[in-house]
Amino acid sequence: MDIAIIGAGPIGCYLGQLLKQHGFSHFILEEHPEIGVPSHCAGLVGKSFFKDSKIPLPENVINNILNGAIISYKNHRFILRRERVAFVIDRKKLDRELSLGLNIKKEVKLLNMERKNNRYILYTNKGNFCSDIVIGADGATSLTRRLASLKLKPIYYKGIQVRIKKKVEPRDMVQVDFIKPFLFFSWIIPEGDEIVRVGNISPNPAQNLKLFLNKLKFQGEIIEKMGGVLSIGYGQTFKDNIAVVGDAACQVKPLSGGGLYYGMRCAEILADCIVRENISSYDGEWKELLGGEIRSALKIRKVLERRSLSFLEKLFDIARKNSHIIEQIADFERHSFSVFNVIKRLGIIIPGIFLSR
């Protein structure tokens, strides 16, 4: 059985390594000439990212260890502390480490595909390839997803990030600055070696990042710029021996856009389904693990987007005054679980939130 993986990002390569362990013949088509470039990720992961991986991940991809977050809106802020809560990673290095030993065909761009005699012909800019199974790990704007006509229509959000040569304090805290509380925000991530990552996710990230940098009065050399699109949604991820995984399947956190942890867990489920010769169960099995969390977080986001700015500001003030409770309850990987527990603990009433569970 031949398996084609579209996309040599971290999820595609992680899946490739899992399949390789079980002796499956597969190849990866990657449209770019260099693994890990361009990067579309803030590079912030929770400790479970390493702890739960089925493949030992090299610790040399860790640039910094964080012990909490500073959350701010306008002139108000609060601090959440938790030792070793998150790691700042080198995404390029991670991608390259995961790609080692895999059959990756670089600068090969998928253009179309066709099913013939229960196999797929993949039409690319460098000839045709054949496979029995096609797996789309080709990111938020996945062509695989569109060619398969999967019933999954994401909502897209834009993000942008720069790396700046600058020392910031504290070095062990991520800083999150809300533009609109709990929906759109800027961030400061200390990378280490006097380099900081500053980014923004919002309807106009370039403009808002510029405003944020001006507010910070940052003086430092911009050494790298990166941008990307987040795909948030929920729907069909398998059809006729075509599966999508990671950002291509909207396996991301709807409230923050983080996708590495969810993508890797779903890649493990997909690999296991292939090993068991039951790939058709993939869609149901990953949703059993993460579907409830993603659906709930999507509905929370939808409810918050309908609320007025003044309401969101009041909600932020409640969070600020009860930061010690959030500190105890918050779960880095399961945001809706955290939100529901905080709401229950504080007795907050947000019309629509409890109905969304």
Nearest to 78 by CA among 87, 69, 86, 91: 69
Q: What is the DSSP letter of 288?
A: I
Alpha-carbon span 249 to 141, nearest angstrom: 10
pLDDT at 213: 94
Phi, psi for 34 (deg, rounded to 5): -130, 130
Inter-axis angle of helices 91-99 and 10-21, nearest 10: 30
CA 340-346-352 angle, to 5 degrees, is: 45
pLDDT at 327: 85
Q: How confident is the model at residue 341 (pLDDT cuts 50, 70, 90)?
A: confident
How crowded is residue 284: how many other Cβ atoms within 10 Å of its Cβ? 13
Phi, psi for 196 (deg, rounded to 5): -130, 145
pTM above 0.75, yes or no: yes
Q: Would you state the structure tokens that stand for residue 127, as one six-digit string?
A: 């000839």
pLDDT at 349: 55
pLDDT at 351: 56
* Percent of the chain residues past pLDDT 90, beyond the cut: 80
pLDDT at 149: 98
Alpha-carbon span 155 to 147, nearest angstrom: 18
Nearest to 139 by CA among 50, 30, 16: 30
Q: Would you state the structure tokens that stand for residue 28, as one six-digit string?
A: 């990866």
Whether 129 and 29 have beta carbons less than 8 Å apart is answered as: yes
Residue that the structure tokens 């834009």 belong to: 158
Please write the tens of the pLDDT for every residue from 23-40. Answer: 998 999 999 999 999 888
Whether 8 and 95 have beta carbons less than 8 Å apart is answered as: yes
Nearest to 260 by CA among 66, 53, 28: 53
Span between the terminal Cα atoms of the chain, in Å: 41
Alpha-carbon span 134 to 50, nearest angstrom: 27
Q: Would you state the structure tokens that stand for residue 188, as one six-digit string?
A: 């400061």
Q: How confident is the model at residue 356 (pLDDT cuts 50, 70, 90)?
A: very low
Domains in the chain with CATH codes? 2-297 (3.50.50.60), 298-356 (no CATH)
pLDDT at 218: 83
Whether 320 and 74 have beta carbons less than 8 Å apart is answered as: no
Q: What is the DSSP letter of 58?
A: P
